[in-house]
Structure 1
């Protein structure tokens, strides 16, 4: 039995068609991974900023405040500066210092009556402010982090 030798089929353009089918899927996955990484990075930055802002309350603040600046104001400015230096837009950042017992009340970390009391630092930014892609108003939400801390100032030892 003899096999007839068939001529090869014309396969020009097959790779281009396969690429045209696969490329959109690969690009979508790539952009989704980039966006997901940005979200995780922003969340980690918010958590770090909240922790470092709260840590400020445990420090001896003598000589750290400028004229007319409050301790809460310095805490908020330091948090915003940290986040801005890491690529988050300063104007979209919200920093709140709240009483741990009653979160509806603001907490003054400089008030001596608040020494050794727990407080909460909340830091938030809208997802649309950190996203590389446009986010519709109906899909936007606030990314936030908070930390509870004790308002106990430790003096720096020599």
Structure 2
């Protein structure tokens, strides 16, 4: 007897969309982190030129990451590589290496997750890291790689 329930088919294209969505969520978490950090800094020491430069750099990185996620969802191989190396490599390392070094030096988890910045910051940072890990993991699925366009575009 045939089932009347439809079965979801997981395709490389649908997995690309999931990976792209995870990267968008990571960027949104990064934006939330920046807002929390800038708000904290503004309330304690004021906004100097260094903070504004950091905001501009992060804004450029976030815009680039969102653009790459959009193109990944559309099957662009170059976007796959950009996200893998950019967010999955350099971006993740920029968050995890200092955290690991601080833990190795005896810092507490609260300190490592910048809980002093805002009570929300640790949760937002964890979401940021987890979203990148999910995006990279899904993106590495063979179906995603097979679904990427042959022509760079």
**If the length of structure 1 is used for normalisation, what is the TM-score?**
0.32
Larger radius of gyration: 1
Which structure carries more relative contact order (alpha carbon 8 Å, separation 6+)?
2
**Structure with the largest fraction of strand:** 1
Which protein has the bigger helix share? 2
Q: TM-score, normalised by structure 2?
A: 0.33
